[in-house]
Each structure stands twice: as structure tokens, then as C-alpha cells.
Structure 1
Amino acid sequence: VCKHGNRSASSKCGTADVLEALGARIELTPEQVVRCVNVAGFGFIFAQKFHPAFRHVGPVRRELGVPTIFNLLGPMANPAPVAYMLVGVANPARMGTMAAALAQRTTASLVVHGHGGLDELSLAGANRVIATRNGVVQAESTVNASDVGVTSADNGSLRGGDPAHNAQVVRDVLANRLAGPIRDVVVLNAAVALHLAGAAVSLRAGATLADSAISSGAGYAALEAFVAESQRD
């Protein structure tokens, strides 16, 4: 996995903020990102490091406090040659545009709009999805919690907090210390990603793999490996 992300601009907490709270160094060179992927199976590309202009846009985005075109540009500007992409959009009107763009640069992708307006798959109801494969944009469909065998829950049960709080939640989920909706939504999103990338033959199989990675400690080990590798010079 090679995640392209930034600090929070239109929300309370961004990917970069959480990773820093977990102890990771985020301003990595291309070589260091590749090393993290090879060692830990995960790398983080800090948008401001690879696209310096993003640094100047950030303050304006924070002042506006609402999603902007940069919420769409971020995922599409990932400099890594990723073959598969799972991208969430908060505005369903942008799904087709995003899917058409991703179809031109990926082997397969999935654009999702979560039930209740989330930019990720939700446990609360039907999630709208548009898949692309080999340059072809497919018809819109839906994915539900029941499709992967987890329990439905309202979006309020998934509300996060500041970077420190969210980092602790990440640790608790991956260390198999947290059950319930938060773990279930991780399994749901991971299951869809695994199926998209061809690592699982079905959504249910993807959920089994994701759940096993948590239960066995493999997920937490990957997190620790990433944090340690990111700190190396």
C-alpha cells in the first residue's frame, strides 16, 4: 500500500497527523517511501513534500473549512505508480468524474461514497460505488456491511477525534483490543480493497483476510515495522 495524503485541511484530522501521532516520520524521500513499502508493506507519500505547491494551498483550505477541488486532486496526484486505487468522495456528484480519471491511470479502481455522506465505506447502509477495470468505467452499484459479514451500525459510532485519539484507536484495532463498529468498519474497507486488488476472490474472503490480519497481530506488526522504518535515515 502506498498512501498519498496530507495534514488536515477540511476536517479535524488528516492521515499525516495520525501517522505522526503514531510515531512515524512523514517527510520521507522517494527512496525512503520505497524502503517502507518493501519492509513494512506500507508507505506514506506526504503531499507537501512531493508537491510543494500544496503547502501554500493548505492554509487557505483550512480557513475555508469545507471540501474543495483539492479533495479530488489529492488521490489523483499520487506520484506512486499504483495499479489499484480505492478512493472515497464525500460528494456523490463527483463519483463519475473521479472514476473516469482513475480509469486512465490504474488497472482497477473503486470510487466510493459512504452512506450518510462519508468519503469511505460506512456500516450504516448502502454505500454507492463505481468500479473501473482495464480503462472501462462500470455501472454504479452498492456495497453493504452485510456483504462482508459485519454488523450494521450508525455513523455516530465511528466518530473520531484529534490525532492522539485517532492514533490510539488505530493501535487498539490493530492490536486486537477493540471490537464492535470501529473494528468492523476497518474490516469492511479492507475487505473491499483486498478484493479490488485481487488478493481475495470475494468480499467475504477479503473480510476473512482482514479479520485474520488483526487477530493474528500481523496488522499491528506491519504498523510497528512502518513506524520503525520511517525513522531510519
Structure 2
Amino acid sequence: MSHSIKNVGDYTKKILCDTFKPQDLFDSLTLIIQTLETIDKNQGSKLSLYVNISSFLTALRTKGLDHKADYIAAAAKAILQFSDVIKYPVDTTHDKNEQALVVADIVGTGGDGQNTFNVSTSSAIVVSGIKGIKIVKHGGKASTSNSGAGDLINVLGVDSTKVNAGSVEKLYASNDFMFLLASQFHKGMFHVAEIRKMMKIPTIFNVLGPLLHPMSIVNKRILGVYSKDLGLEYLKAARLVYPNNDIFVVWGHVGLDEISPIGKTTVWCSQANNDLNTEIKVLEISPLDFGLMEHPLADCQSLGPAKNADILANHILQGEYRRGENAIYDYILLNSAMLYCLCFNSKDYKKAVDIVEESIHNGSALKSLQKFVKDVEQL
């Protein structure tokens, strides 16, 4: 951190004077969190600091820097300094037969305002039932919708507070599906939660979640964004934070941070170890490319954690439906198939649907969820 700047207001001046660099954002967020930590510990007054921090975050938003790749990446790295990150040695990237391990996550920024079914979490469970794939889903509780990933998982029977830095390695060794609740790992985000709530406007923290995964072993990621304008920059940021990953960033044209059940979805693609100057491949896909029907968002709405959990565990994962019979089921197949394609570098979308649907109907997906629930209970 620059020794010449010890006040958040000085960083705000740099933003307004257009001299604010990504390293400044890393330094300023480090300063903010360290200062908030000290005040929280000593129960000191936050008023003047909150005024400075809110002015800083507002200036960052007004200048549009919070949607620029270098700044997003710098912010994510700053937050991760204060997180419980579980790092794995290089030799854990292959199994005992020297086959490359596929460890994936699928998560969106949220903030799209569409309040759709928990499709990322559902797809994570479905794909975890496929041989050769581990899913370590990272997410939070509801902020702008009525059911966040953490809310759904809790109703499904997982006490997510028991999944923490002390237990994840044991759980990872014996499970193909895991869920990590963000608040259990990210102390830095805890310290800024109050001011974010008070400000009532989106800040750079709103886009950081998918880039803050606590486990270094993840190597495949689908990251959803709520805005087309954010898509390309977000992929560039993700490459800076996770250069050894294969990454899809997705945006549904109806305004969705998922692969949309109706109309087109844009997919920005990056392969592991791509040179940062490598041209980014951009795809446009629709349910029709997967051999699936389109469904309006109104038929894919979230009905709250309890009802969503019932639909998923007692109907979808029980093999009650086939493609074309239920909108939410097809929505899950679509996102699951794209995650499968990322995991195995496949472009055969229709075959991917066959494979993920088999994971449901042979019971593998449900068994994967049930094992995680049981193992967490036994902690």
C-alpha cells in the first residue's frame, strides 16, 4: 500500500482527477477493510469513515471504473486477502490415474431483478452426478430475489455454517457436490455489509461475488452477469483473477445472469492460460440449439426457498419429468448442459442435454446431493 495515502478521501480525489489506477483500488479497499476491522473490534464510531467510504464508492460508480476489468480484478484480489482461502498444491489437479480433475462452479452476480428459479444451484447438483466432475458451488443468500443459493441449500437440509475453512477439505475428499456459503469465508465482505445496506445503490461489491471462490482447485467456471455491457469486461477480470481456468461468462438477452430459457444468450469464452491479448470468442446460443423448447420467464419464477426446494428434491431430481414437460426442468437442463460442455470442452449441445438428463434419471444427481447433506450432518 502507498505510504503517502492514509485517508480514503485522498483516493476519492484521485478518482475525480482521473489519476486513479487499479493498484489504487487494491490499496484503498485494503485500507477500508483494515480500518473497519479495527473500528469493529474497538466498537468505535463509524460515521465519518462511512461518509468517506460512501463518497469513494459513489465516485467509483459514477466514473464507471467498477465495470472495468482491471479494477474488478484488483478489487477481487483485495477482498481475497481477508478471506479464508483453501489453496491446493499443483499435484491435486490430477487424480491417481493422472487424469485431469474437473472442478467447476456456476454462479451469477445477481442483480438482474428477474427472480427466477435457483437454476445455478440446481444445475450444479445435476452435473455433479456425472462421472469425472466435481462441483464446488459458491454463493450467498438472497439479496435481490426471494431465494438465494444459500437459502435453497439450507432448506434442502444443509447447515451451511458447518461448511467452513476447517471442514471443506474433508468434505471435498468425499463429495462430488459441495456448497460454500460466501459469508463463511469472506471476512472483508462482512465488514462492508452495513455500509452497502445504508447506501442502497449498486457498488463494485455487487459484481465481486463470483470472483471470490474460496477454493483454489476450481478450474472451470460459468459466471453470469446482469448486463451486456459488463460481459466482456467481466471475462477479462476473471482471466486476471483465475488465469488457469476455462471460463464462460453468460448474459441472457432478456436481462438474465443465467443462460436464458427464452431467446438468445451471449457467451464470452476463455480457455486456461490464454494470453491476455488473445481474441475472446463470443457465442450466441438459445434453447433451440440444445433441442429444448423455449419457456417464458414467467414459467421459471422462484417461488421461495421452501417451494423451490420441494420442486427440486421431490419432483425434478426424482425423475418425474422429461424434457418438454416442465419449464423449470428444461431451464435446469439447459444450464446443466452448458456447464457440461465447459467441463469437457464439448460443442455437442444436444448430446450434453442427453447426458445431464441421464444424471437425473439414473439417480446420480440426487445421490450426490444426499451424500453432501449426510456428510455435513455428521460434522
- TM-score normalised by L of structure 2: 0.57
1:80 to 215, 231, 250: 215
The correspondence for 2:283, drawn from 130, 133, 141, is: 141
- Structure-2 change in CA distance of 1:59 and 1:151 (3 Å): farther
Separation of aligned partners in 1, 2:186 and 2:251 = 26
- 2:156 aligned partner: 22
Aligned-partner SS, 1:11: coil
Q: Is the 8 A contact 1:114 1:127 kept in 2?
A: yes
Cross-structure match for 1:129: 267
Letter of the 2:248 partner, please give it.
L
- Structure 1 residues without counterparts, runs of 5 or longer: none
Q: Hey, what's the Cα distance between the residues in 1 that align with 2:365 and 2:373? A: 13
Identity of aligned residues (%): 25
Deviation, 1:205, is 2.1
Match of 1:11 in 2: 145
Provide the C-alpha distance between the structure 2 equivalents of 1:141 and 1:167, rounded to a whole number of angstroms: 32
Q: Within 2, Cα distance between the matches of 1:203 and 1:34?
A: 33
Deviates more, 1:7-16 or 1:197-206: 197-206
Residue 37 (structure 1) shift: 3.2
* 1:79-108 C-alpha deviation (Å, 9 max, x unpaired): 212111001111111111210022231421
Match of 2:119 in 1: none
Distance 1:62 1:129 in 2: 31
Structure 1 residues 1-233: aligned runs within 5 Å: 1-27=135-161, 28-58=163-193, 68-81=203-216, 82-104=218-240, 105=242, 106-134=244-272, 135=274, 136=278, 138-171=280-313, 172-178=315-321, 179-198=325-344, 200=346, 202-233=348-379
127-136 vs 150-159, which moves further: 127-136
- Residue matched to 2:103: none
In structure 1, distance between residues paired with 2:232 and 2:356? 28
Q: Are 1:10 and 1:66, in contact at CA under 8 Å, matched by a contact in 2? A: no
**Normalising by structure 1, what TM-score?**
0.91
Q: Distance in 2 between matches of 1:31 and 1:43?
A: 14
CA RMSD of aligned residues (A): 2.1
Residues 159, 57 of structure 1: alpha-carbon distance in 2 compared, 3 angstrom cutoff: farther
Q: 1:57 to 1:165 in 2, by over 3 A?
A: farther
CA separation of 1:143 and 1:199: change in aligned 2, threshold 3 A: same
SS at match of 1:13: coil
1:45 is matched by which residue type in structure 2?
L
SS in 1 for 2:259: coil
- Separation in structure 2 between the aligned mates of residue 11 and residue 68 of structure 1, nearest angstrom: 18
Give 1:143's aligned amino acid.
I
Question: For the structure 1 residues 95 and 127, does the alpha-carbon distance in structure 2 shift closer, same or farther, using more than 3 Å as the test?
Answer: same
**What is the aligned partner in structure 1 of residue 70 from structure 2?**
none
The letter for the 1-side match of 2:187 is P
Structure 1 residues 216 and 35, CA gap change in structure 2 (3 angstroms) = same
Q: Which has the larger radius of gyration?
A: 2
Q: For residues 188-227 of structure 1, give each alpha carbon's deviation from its aligned partner in whole angstroms, at most 9, with x where no partner exists.
A: 1111111111175622222111100111111111111111
Question: Per-residue displacement from partner, 1:29-66 (whole Å, max 9, x unpaired)?
Answer: 23522333332311122211111232344455566677
